[in-house]
Chains A and B, each alone.
Chain A
Amino acid sequence: MAPPAPPPTEPAEPVEPVTVRIEGQKKAGAASETVIERDVAHAAPHKSGSDLLAVVPGVFVTQHSGQGKAHQIFLRGFDAQHGQDVEIWAGGAPVNEVSNLHGQGYADMHFIMPEVVQRVRALPGTYDVQQGDFAVAGSMFMDFGYEEPGFTGSTTIGSFFERRMFLAYHPESFDEETFAAFEAQATNGFGPNRAARRISTIGQLGLDVGQDVHLRLQASFYAGRFDSAGVIPLARVQSGAIDPFEALDPNQGGDSMRAQIVAEITQQKDDESRDRYSVAPFFIARDLRLRNNFTGFLIDPVNGDGTQQTNEAKTFGLTGRYARRFDWLSPRDEVEMGVFARSDWVDQRQVRLSGVNDRVIENIVDAQIRATNVAGFVSAELTAVKRIRMKAGLRVDGLFYNSLDKVAEESGAERSAMGFHLGPRATVDVLATTGLNFLASFGTGFRSPQARSLANGETSPFTEVVSFEGGARYTTGPDLAVNVAGFHTRLDNDLVFDEALARNEPVGPTERSGFVGTITSRPTPWLVSQTSVTFTHASFSDSDADHQAGDLLPYAPQIVARADIAASPKLTTMLSRALVMKAGLGLSLVALRPLPFSELGSNIFQADATLGVRWKEIEIKGDFFNLLDSRWYDGEFTYASNFEQGEAAALVPQRHVSLGNPITFFATATAYL
């Protein structure tokens, strides 16, 4: 019997072409380069976008002046202050502020909600031609995205009257790049003078325009106001003279505002495409006011040393890149060219205020800064015998600064400086066997100065940075990645916080050497971990009256280690809905923190944890910060102060600390619709 004839098929419906956008990760530019995906970034709980930086291998962040001031960042032996040595980009716009009065490269990341961070790409060193100003210790690029489809609404309450509302929307038919999010947060703080509030919103839209062009539009707005307890002399805490939670000057704190708009056009990449380009103009408006008193009554025994700094800045800029494939040694050979431009208009003022009646005692700074950084770069990547990938590039940065000092005796003292920096960069990547690569990298970068510190006509207004790195990367895919690297960085003229003058002072050449190891594993779909250890030896390179070659640089910790682990197993199914547990742990270790006068700062071991359950549309979780409730000091500084008005001032520099938070609990309820 013959088999039955197949049923007649209906004529096929014409199939609409589906555009598939493949985003592959770039090949690593250095052995220690890391891409931290969402699951690792959110394994442990984080209070802000700045906190999230702690997940980057080698990064240690502290907050010594209130929940609204930019964190102080340490990376690979660098005390990057508030961002002077770490280039940070968020959503396609630079975060570092040029010539910010409080600190060069000031990077306030409080406008970033942790939930909308899709990934963080960390490039330690200066090996990529796209790394520019502030990339001394390295660069970090944060991409925004939100993956939960539909509406999300969550409410958090917690210790110290913490309350937060988070709202987000992500249309299911769009990539996670398209979303809108809102946050309102307030806290009384864990001690006197630590209250803070912030509001923030980010909206991002990704649209395919035509067949192979993609448009991303992003806007974000943020404002925050915070009080600050400042720092306290450690000796007085240890003697019991003051409570460690005390705020010695209750007038400290500030406020911060930010608005940014980014528009990015990229040509979609597919396997057939020879060319790809992207252009991304951006605009940023920033406003910062900080009120600090780090020295009490040391300078002015009657009115106190409180100062107020205001910094207003408008930034326009753009990035542009063009890459073309060539078939020289391999079909994947590529030449890339690009430009970067940024202009900043900054008005800044610093006054000393009476602690009694807020009267202006002294005008310290009243300046207008105009700065422009224009860069061009080109790089070529060749792959030989399918195993040896060589990438070499050159970046040329031109920097122009103009400063008008309105406080100078002859008001109107204006000066300008301009210089160029040539930055060669190169990486060699050898594929030893499947999944195992050996890499060696080299690059030069620069650290730009505060515009007001430049003399008129200076032609080389920056510090030269030279970096080397060698290491290995091993991966079996998303489930396991291991990288280890040794690095060495040199600066021709570094700045170190001088304890006698209580400000950064030039100290001549310095160097940093060390190694870093990172293991990222996803043994099962519900378990992820990332552990990293970084050891750095940072020292003076030569001798002078104040130090010997080989003496340690103060402040940057020698050991920074971090582990982020998260488990999200499905427990059971109830009413056809999966019940999923979410548990996460973040462990941080900071040790061997050199301080001036051969002292060591206190080691820090912190554990943050989260535990919750999600029943499809509903999630309840609890976050613990400082789970072990350890007494710790996140900021440690050595300088002279006198907070006891009328008493004989101690002029020999002493240790001052800012207290870290005690055990803190947040409870969050979230609805996903």
Chain B
Amino acid sequence: MFKRCSFGSLVLSAFALVACGDDTGTPSGEEGAITFTSWGEEYIEQEIPADIFEDGYSIHYDKFLVLISNITVADEEGNVAASDENAYLINHTEAGVKEIVKFEGLEAKNYTLVHYETSPAAREKIQLVGGATEADADMMASEQYHVYIEGTLSKGGESKTFKWGFGIPTLLDECEGEIDGKLTEGAVVTSGGDDVIELTIHGDHFFYDDLQSPDAVVRGDAVFNADADMDDVVTQAELAAIPLVDLPANQYGTGGVEGVNDLGAFVSFLSRTIGHFRGEGECFLGSPE
């Protein structure tokens, strides 16, 4: 009798247990980590070679300072699993991938909503990473830059230098990139694993010749020739003095971007687009709240 009752109740309770179970949102108990790094690739560490430029120029960067801040990881419901409000200042001319921050103890699952910013920051929030110095941080904070670059543009034995700073708060939202060939939104945390996400900085973006076209190419002519006083230094003021209308009609298109009518404003807009995700991955461009 006892056996019959216990078996029958076992069957019924199995029904009840599983029928009432909720498969969604139940923690698995497994944990892992996400490590954010940043890298400027060879284009910033070494040079952008002439075969990349449509018109044969090359670029060598002496300094490439970028502020990366407010890295946030959330699941598809928007539940924030980890975030860091610090602003990390990196000089990407220093070789190698730099670790920025590591989030540990995260539940093993997919976190499809990852965003970060390249925005100006107050001095007290700036943390130095890689080759960035205290003086760099002081300068970025006082000028309220989100990116500052120094470099040389060359072609055929001629060179001009530039030192440009830009300060536009920029949100890079809903980032996605490839993991082992598969396009993946955000981060994937596996049990005991560490998803290393590289926030890649593309140094060629400052020289693209269109703000919207998928066929934008890298050019140097217009920037090189903006040196009005011929002192071999191209300033941002000199860029701003070049109306886009004076450039070839099939170059420097602005698409839907409003208020960009000179080369200075054009390059300013491009300064917001240098941040990427896992190499060639993309994020939505926006403004932080």
* A390 and B15 contact, Cβ closer than 8 Å, known pairs A408-B181, A414-B180: no
Task: Provide the residues of chain B in CB contact with A458, threshold 8 Å.
Answer: 188, 190
Contact, CB under 8 Å: A468 / B19: yes
Say yes or no: A415 contacts B8, CB within 8 Å.
Answer: no
**B4: which A residues are within 8 A, CB to CB?**
329, 384
Is B18 a contact partner of A466 (Cβ separation < 8 A)? Answer: yes
Q: Is the CB of A456 within 8 A of B180?
A: yes
Interface centre among B4, B19, B108, B181, by most chain A C-beta atoms within 10 angstroms, is: B181
A392 surroundings in chain B (CB, below 8 A): 10-11, 14
1/0 contact trace for B158-202 toward A, CB 8 Å? 000000000000000000001111101000101101000000000
- Residues 10-44 of B, flagged 1 when their CB comes within 8 A of A and 0 if not, give 11001100110001100010100000000000000
Any B CB within 8 A of the CB of A526 = no
Residues of B within 8 A of A459 (CB): 28, 30, 108, 190-191
- Closest CB in chain B relative to A247 CB, distance in Å: 34
- Per DSSP, are chain A's interface residues mostly helix, strand or loop, or mixed? strand
Is A444 a contact partner of B30 (Cβ separation < 8 A)? no
**Minimum C-beta distance from A263 to chain B (A):** 36
Please give the distance in Å from B41's CB to the nearest CB on chain A: 14
Instruction: Check A390 against B11 for contact (C-beta < 8 Å).
Output: yes
* Cα separation A413 to B278 with both chains bound (whole Å): 14
A452 at the interface (CB under 8 A from B): yes
Contact between B179 and A455 (Cβ–Cβ < 8 Å)? yes
User: Do the beta carbons of A442 and B19 come within 8 Å of each other?
Assistant: yes
Which residues on A sit within 8 Å (CB–CB) of B108? Answer: 459
User: Complex Cα distance A382/B7, Å?
Assistant: 9
Please name all residues of chain A whose beta carbon is closer than 8 Å to the beta carbon of B18 when the two chains form the complex.
424, 442, 444, 466
Is the beta-carbon distance between A384 and B188 smaller than 8 angstroms?
no
* Cα A468 to Cα B18 with chains together (Å): 11
Give the chain B neighbours of A424 by CB distance below 8 A: 14, 18
Contact of A457 among B14, B28, B188 (CB under 8 A): B188
Interface string of A388-425 (1 = CB under 8 A from B): 00101000000000000101111001110000000010
Task: Provide the bound-state CA to CA distance between A410 and B280, in Å.
Answer: 12
**In chain A, residues 490-510, which have Cβ atoms closer than 8 Å to a Cβ of chain B?**
492, 509
**CB-nearest residue of chain A to B22:** A492
Q: Which chain A residue lies CB-closest to B195?
A: A457
B181 touching A415, Cβ below 8 Å? yes
A390 contacts B180, C-beta separation under 8 Å: no
Bound together, the chains give a CA A426 to CA B19 distance in angstroms of 12
Pick from A413, A426, A444: contact of B181, CB below 8 A: A413
Q: How far is the CA of A457 from the CA of B192 in the complex (A)?
A: 10
B163 to chain A, nearest CB (A): 34
Indicate if the CB atoms of A415 and B7 lie closer than 8 Å.
no
> What is the CB-to-nearest-CB distance from B241 to chain A, in angstroms, rounded to a whole number?
40
Given contacts A382-B7, A466-B18, contact A405 B181 (CB under 8 A): yes
Give the distance in Å from the alpha carbon of A62 to the alpha carbon of B151 in the complex: 64
In angstroms, how far is the closest chain A Cβ from the Cβ of B183?
10
Contacts of B3 in A (CB 8 A): 328-329
Question: Cα distance A455–B188 when bound, in Å?
Answer: 8
CB-CB under 8 A from A382, the residues of chain B are: 7
Cβ contact within 8 Å between B182 and A509: no
Which residue of chain B has the shortest Cβ distance to A329 in the bound complex? B4
| B182 with A384: CB separation less than 8 A | no
CA of A398 to CA of B178, assembled, Å: 27
Q: Complex Cα distance A460/B193, Å?
A: 15
Q: Is A390 within 8 A of B8, CB to CB?
A: yes
A628 → chain B, closest Cβ, in Å?
A: 45
Interface centre among B7, B10, B28 (most CB of A within 10 A): B7
Of the candidates A329, A452, A468, the one whose C-beta lies within 8 Å of that of B182 is A452
Instruction: Find A408's partner among B11, B14, B19, B178 (CB 8 Å cutoff).
Output: B178
Interface string of B94-126 (1 = CB under 8 A from A): 000000000000001010000000000000000
Chain A, residues 73-117, CB within 8 Å of chain B (1/0): the string is 000000000000000000000000000000000000000000000
**A464 contacts the other chain (CB 8 A):** yes
| B14 A426 Cβ-Cβ under 8 A | yes
Point out the residues of chain B lying under 8 angstroms from A409, CB to CB. 178, 181, 280
List B contacts of A136 (CB < 8 A).
none
Contact residue among B11, B24, B28, B181 (Cβ-Cβ distance under 8 Å from A428): B11
Closest B residue to A416 by beta carbon equals B180
Instruction: Collect the chain B residues with CB atoms within 8 Å of residue A239's CB.
Output: none
A355 to B143, CA, bound (A): 58
Cβ-closest chain B residue relative to A544: B76
Decide: B7 and A457 in contact? CB cutoff 8 A: no
- From 576 to 598 in chain A, residues with beta carbon under 8 angstroms from any chain B beta carbon are none
A427 nearest in chain B by CB position: B11
B182 → A minimal CB distance (Å): 6
Whether B179 pairs with A390 at a CB distance below 8 angstroms is no
- Contact call A415/B180, Cβ cutoff below 8 A: yes
Given A424-B14, A426-B14, verify A464-B23 contact (CB < 8 Å): yes
Q: Which one of B4, B23, B179, B191 has the highest number of Cβ atoms from chain A below 10 Å of its Cβ?
A: B23
Task: Provide the bound-state CA to CA distance between A457 and B184, in Å.
Answer: 13
Residue A453 interfacial (CB < 8 Å): yes
Asked if A455 and B180 make an inter-chain contact with CB atoms under 8 angstroms apart, the answer reads yes
* B14 & A413 in contact (Cβ 8 Å cutoff): no
Q: Once the chains are docked, how many angstroms separate the CA of A547 from the CA of B19?
A: 26
Q: For B28, list chain A residues within 8 Å (CB).
A: 459-460
Measured between beta carbons, the chain A residues less than 8 angstroms from B193 are 457
Interface centre among B15, B178, B179 (most CB of A within 10 A): B15
Q: Using CB atoms, name the residue of chain A closest to B21.
A: A466
What residues of chain B lie closer than 8 Å to A405, measured between beta carbons?
180-182
- Roughly how many angstroms separate A428 CA and B14 CA in the complex, as a whole number? 12
- Across the interface, which residues of A come within 8 angstroms of B11, CB to CB? 390, 392, 426, 428
Let me know if A509 and B19 touch, CB within 8 A. Answer: no
Cα separation A413 to B179 with both chains bound (whole Å): 9
- A173 CB to closest chain B CB (Å) equals 46
Chain A residue with the shortest CB-CB distance to B179:
A455
Nearest CB in chain B: distance from A107 CB, A:
26
Specify which chain B residues have a CB less than 8 angstroms from the CB of A466 in the assembled complex: 18-19, 23
Beta-carbon contact of B179 and A456 below 8 Å:
yes
* Alpha-carbon separation in the docked complex, A464 to B24 (Å): 10
Over the window 242-270 of chain A, the binary record of Cβ atoms lying under 8 Å from chain B Cβ atoms (1 yes, 0 no) is 00000000000000000000000000000
Contacts A415-B181, A455-B188, A459-B191 given; indicate if A492 touches B19 (C-beta within 8 A): no
Q: A331 to chain B: closest CB distance in Å? A: 15
A509 touches B180 (CB 8 A): no
The smallest beta-carbon distance between B188 and chain A, in angstroms, is 5
State the Cβ distance, A428 to closest chain B Cβ, in Å. 7
A390 to B10, CA, bound (A): 11
Residue pair A413, B8 in contact (C-beta under 8 Å): no
Closest A residue to B15 by beta carbon equals A442
Q: Which of B38-72 contact A (CB under 8 A)?
A: none
Write out the residue numbers on chain B whose beta carbons fall within 8 Å of the beta carbon of A453.
182
Residues of B within 8 A of A410 (CB): 181
Q: Is the CB of B184 within 8 A of A455?
A: yes
Kindly state the separation between the CA atoms of A415 and B4 in the bound complex, as whole angstroms.
49
Q: A415-B181, A457-B190 are in contact. List 8 more A-B contacts (CB 8 A).
A: A382-B7, A392-B10, A392-B14, A424-B14, A428-B11, A455-B179, A455-B188, A457-B193
A-B contact pairs, 21 of them (CB 8 A): A329-B7, A390-B8, A392-B10, A392-B14, A408-B178, A409-B178, A415-B179, A415-B180, A415-B182, A428-B11, A442-B14, A444-B18, A455-B179, A456-B190, A457-B193, A458-B188, A459-B28, A459-B108, A459-B191, A464-B23, A492-B24
Footprint of A on B, CB under 8 Å?
Answer: 3-4, 7-8, 10-11, 14-15, 18-19, 23-24, 28, 30, 108, 110, 178-182, 184, 188, 190-191, 193, 280
CB-CB nearest 7 A-B residue pairs: A413-B181, A408-B181, A457-B190, A405-B181, A415-B180, A413-B180, A492-B23
